[in-house]
Amino acid sequence: MKRILLTSFILVFLYITGFSQQVPNGSFETWASGEPDNWNTSNQNIIGFTFTTVEKDLVSPQQGSASARLTVVTKTIPLFGTFTLPGVLTLGILNIDLVAQTASVTGGYPFTAMPQKLTGYYKYQPVNNDTALIVLGLFKWNNVKRDTVGGGALYFEGTHNEWTPFEIPVTYPIWENPDTMNIVILNSNPLSPLSHTGTKMWVDNFAFVYGTVAVEGLTSADNIRIYAERDNRQLVLSSSFEKQENLDISLFSMAGIEARKWKRSMTRSTEHLDISNLPPGTYLIRITSGNKLFDSRKITILN
């Protein structure tokens, strides 16, 4: 028993990150060098011509002291031509070649949680029926390439002079904890043939919403998955073993006390583990077979 408790405490120590990871600087309160902390923008300086497409707005934030204002900017650069740049915010790396009129977004922010939706507030003043877009992506490196494990997107249109709430549900084509998250905010449609110079979008107070149970991974076994059913106090254990494995499944409180224990014999099967009568809090689940540790994850029951 002492060995199990010691292992439990070691795993908890190694995985101290909270389950409910939030959007970094989602309130757009802190800025440095003309950009909100943790975010990259489409602000550019081309041979002395400055395109200020994203600015800190202190006039009427939805909450707090600041919001972010994105504006479509058009300028004429002698000998090069006239260029239009939309307002873009991203948690990744934004690469813009204004002369070639190309752009790409790579990377993102370290993130291991599985939220149900992204919420926030916006105002929008489009020019020539312009439309805006917010995209959320959750990614995981699989040793060869980065898979998209979840995400969502929402288009915005019409004039909204007052702060308006929005929410973007997150869908998971691959039910795995991500390792990277990115949000891209684009205040204009770059494919439209019309001029949208002057289109403005304000954004503020981005936040992730989680379900009844949140699951994060300390390890990520290839042949076993643990996840929570949405709005249901049950854990789902899915396996793809080639031969039967007799599993010992234990759920520990953060104090190292064993709160639940199950035994399951599994091959290619799915089991449901009832945690409906456990109090809200953070737990550690461990799945073993003999001396072999298959998986260990942090479970947080919200309500």
**Contact (Cβ atoms closer than 8 angstroms) between residue 91 and residue 38:** yes
Query: Do both 191 and 62 map to the same domain?
Result: yes
Rama region for 155: left / alpha / beta (φ>0; ψ in -120 to 50; rest): beta
Q: How many domains does the chain have?
A: 2
pLDDT of the residue at 179 = 92
How far from 213 is each of 15, 41, 134, 203, 227, CA to CA, in Å? Answer: 17, 34, 26, 29, 9
**Contact (Cβ atoms closer than 8 angstroms) between residue 156 and residue 201:** yes
Query: Do both 243 and 173 map to the same domain?
Result: no
pLDDT of the residue at 215 = 67
CATH number for the domain spanning 12: value is 2.60.40.3080
Query: Do both 193 and 62 map to the same domain?
Result: yes
DSSP 26: T
Distance separating alpha carbons of residues 285 and 199, to the nearest angstrom: 50
Query: Do both 205 and 264 map to the same domain?
Result: no
Domain closes at, from 155, 180, 209: 209
- The separation between the first and the last C-alpha atoms of the chain, rounded to the nearest angstrom, is 30
Q: Quote the domain boundaries for residue 227.
A: 2-17+212-301
Query: Do both 44 and 153 map to the same domain?
Result: yes
Write out residues in the chain with pLDDT < 70, as ranges. 1-20, 98-99, 211-222, 229-231, 303
Residue 26 lies in a domain: no
How far from 20 is each of 16, 24, 89, 112, CA to CA, in Å? Answer: 12, 12, 23, 9
Query: Do both 255 and 219 map to the same domain?
Result: yes
Domain closes at, from 158, 186, 209: 209
Residue 24 lies in a domain: no
Query: Do both 46 and 175 map to the same domain?
Result: yes
pLDDT of the residue at 251 = 92
Domain closes at, from 158, 188, 209: 209
> Which residues, listed in sequence order, are joined to residue 296 by a DSSP beta bridge?
286
Query: Do both 88 and 156 map to the same domain?
Result: yes
Query: Do both 70 and 12 map to the same domain?
Result: no
pLDDT of the residue at 99 = 67
Distance separating alpha carbons of residues 96 and 80, to the nearest angstrom: 16
Residue 117 lies in a domain: yes
pLDDT of the residue at 214 = 64
Q: Which residues contact 60 (CB under 8 A, 6 or more apart)?
A: 67
Distance separating alpha carbons of residues 241 and 194, to the nearest angstrom: 56
Residue 23 lies in a domain: no
Distance separating alpha carbons of residues 284 and 293, to the nearest angstrom: 13
Show the tokens assigned to 196.
């949208």
For the beta carbon of residue 279, count every other beta carbon within 10 angstroms. 7
CATH number for the domain spanning 62: value is 2.60.120.890
Which residue is associated with the tokens 């891209």? 184
Distance separating alpha carbons of residues 8 and 2, to the nearest angstrom: 10
Torsion of CA 249, 253, 254, 257, to 10 degrees: -90
Query: Do both 189 and 262 map to the same domain?
Result: no
Query: Do both 137 and 160 map to the same domain?
Result: yes
Query: Do both 101 and 220 map to the same domain?
Result: no
